[in-house]
Amino acid sequence: MPVRIDETSVQGASGLAEENEDLSAWAHIANEGTDRATVQLHFHVDGTEVGQTSADVEAGADQWLSVPIIQLRAGGHDLRVVADVDDGQSSSQAENGATFSVQGAPVPTVEFGAVYLQPHTNVEHPDGHAWSNEQVRVSVLLHNTGQHPVNVTVVLDAGGQGGTRSVQLAAGAQEWASEDVGPFAAGQHAVTLTGSTETANQSVHLGTVSATLTVTDPTEGFHPVNVQVTLQDFRGRPMSGRAVFLEFYGMDGTQAGGAETVEGTTTVGGVLTRPRITIPPRGSMKIMAVSTGQADEPIEHSTPYHLAEGQQDFSVTAEQEFKEAKIKAKSLRGVKEKLSTEMHAGLEIEVLSVGGKVGAEHEESEEFSTEVEWEVRYGRPSFKITIETN
């Protein structure tokens, strides 16, 4: 027989035959005759012809031929390939076959991260907390740990509110699923996210994660506290000669009701005290120190805070921030000129060393004949805030 079928197989995209995917049937033919032959191949699966193809094969040559076939159910199957051969001299047939298995479709696997609750506010809430009349973004990170893409449908149920998100995940990919809900009434609300996907023949549950959202009224817990603010310059010395402005902000950056601006000139020692100031239990505090003399640059900073339950005293230390630099100049005036883009009006500068030696007071006004290296520290128009906790 001049043409024979050496090998047959059924394969999918990954090489393995899997359920619910397009497959191909293959046959390897070899022409062992002395003449060119026309070969017509007929592919049969489980006794039914599923495709045919043809090729001209030179004498002594061999090649693979394939046809696409229908999707097959999981389990064992039979492949039979029949070749009609014509070499111009005579006609003949060749046949070969094999049994093969189709694997069941892989079950999608998606890992769900923890539920992340982010209120729409510039106030730093504790995890899992929000204020009433405030929207909350509910998010979860999805990770496709399988070998195939999967379309995940995420259903959110949050205290009677909810929504649906569809997330397409490539194999091994991660993606956030997010939904905005709210506002909520004060109280505790269960937040649940459930993921599923649809395969060719079934709906697959991928996972469920949940969290508890605690909602309070933004004015709940307002109570008077004794406020004390200590101001220090960048050298760590008490800062005097400046008026202090304190502002307490609530949700969405608006000034909290019942929390008026506190202002006054610092006492000797750079300490401002104000008794019985009503502020919200959580929010943001802005401190501004403005010179009471020449028009110096104000020093300011904002920071979130959170009062403990029943807290009566609120003590804050505001320490001026600073930078250090090494500048080559003939005098301190030359240093300041080179720092003009960094320095602000009225902010002080401290000489740490001159020409590698510890700076002396007289050198601050001395002018050298050549440029020397000045190591200096200078104040910034911002504070580092430390809030004492009881």
Domain CATH code at residue 241 = 2.60.40.1120
Q: What is the DSSP letter of 121?
A: S
Rounded alpha-carbon distances, angstroms, from residue 133 to 119, 136, 184, 280, 335: 10, 10, 6, 16, 53
* 59 and 73 housed in the same domain: yes
**Mean pLDDT, rounded, for 352-362:** 80
Please write the tens of the pLDDT for every residue from 113-135: 999 998 876 666 778 888 887 88
Residue 271 pLDDT > 80: yes
Region 52-80 average pLDDT: 91
Cα→Cα distances 225→123, 276, 287, 309, Å = 20, 5, 17, 12
pLDDT at 257: 44
Beta carbons within 10 angstroms of residue 311's beta carbon: 15
Q: Do residues 142 and 239 both lie within one domain?
A: no
Q: Any idea which of 160-169, 235-244, 251-260, 264-273 has the lowest mean pLDDT?
A: 251-260
- The answer on 124 and 158 residing in a single domain is yes
Q: Phi and psi at residue 233, in whole multiples of 5°?
A: -80, 180
pLDDT at 81: 95
Going by their DSSP bridges, the two strands 223-232 and 313-329 should be labelled as parallel
Mean per-residue pLDDT for 156-178?
91
- When divided into structural domains, the chain yields a total of 3
Q: Which two tokens stand for residue 363?
A: 């050198």
How much is the pLDDT for 180? 92
pLDDT given at position 1: 59
Residue 252 has pLDDT above 50, yes or no: no
Predicted pLDDT at 258: 40
DSSP string, 132-176: TT--EEEEEEEEE-SSS-EEEEEEEEETTEEEEEEEEE-TT-EEE
Query: 378 and 235 share a domain?
Result: yes
End-to-end CA distance of the chain: 97
Residue type, 333: R
Same domain assignment for residues 317 and 261: yes
65 and 131 in one domain?
A: no
Confidence of residue 311 (pLDDT cuts 50, 70, 90): confident
User: Do 212 and 226 belong together in one domain?
Assistant: no
Of the two residues 241 and 180, the one the predictor is more confident about is 180
3-state secondary structure of 170: coil
Same domain, 379 and 235: yes
**What pLDDT score does 68 carry?**
93
pLDDT for residue 152 is more than 50: yes
Mean pLDDT of 216-242: 82
CB burial of residue 166 (10 Å; 0-12, 13-18, 19+): exposed
Residue-averaged pLDDT of the chain = 84
Across the range 27-43, mean pLDDT stands at 92
Assess contact for 97 and 79: CB atoms under 8 A: yes
Regarding whether 276 and 211 lie in a shared domain, the answer is: no
Cα-based angle 134, 138, 142 (whole degrees, multiple of 5): 170
Amino acid sitting at position 375: E
Q: What is the pTM of this model?
A: 0.46
Cβ 245 vs Cβ 263: under 8 Å = yes
Same domain for 132 and 41: no
Looking up residue 154, the CATH number of its domain turns out to be: 2.60.40.10
Q: What is the domain range of residue 169?
A: 110-216
Q: Both 71 and 124 in a single domain?
A: no
Choose one of 189, 216, 243: the last residue of a domain. 216
Domain boundary among 102, 134, 163: 102
Looking at 216, 231, 264, which one is the last position of a domain?
216
The reply to whether 379 and 304 lie within a common domain is: yes
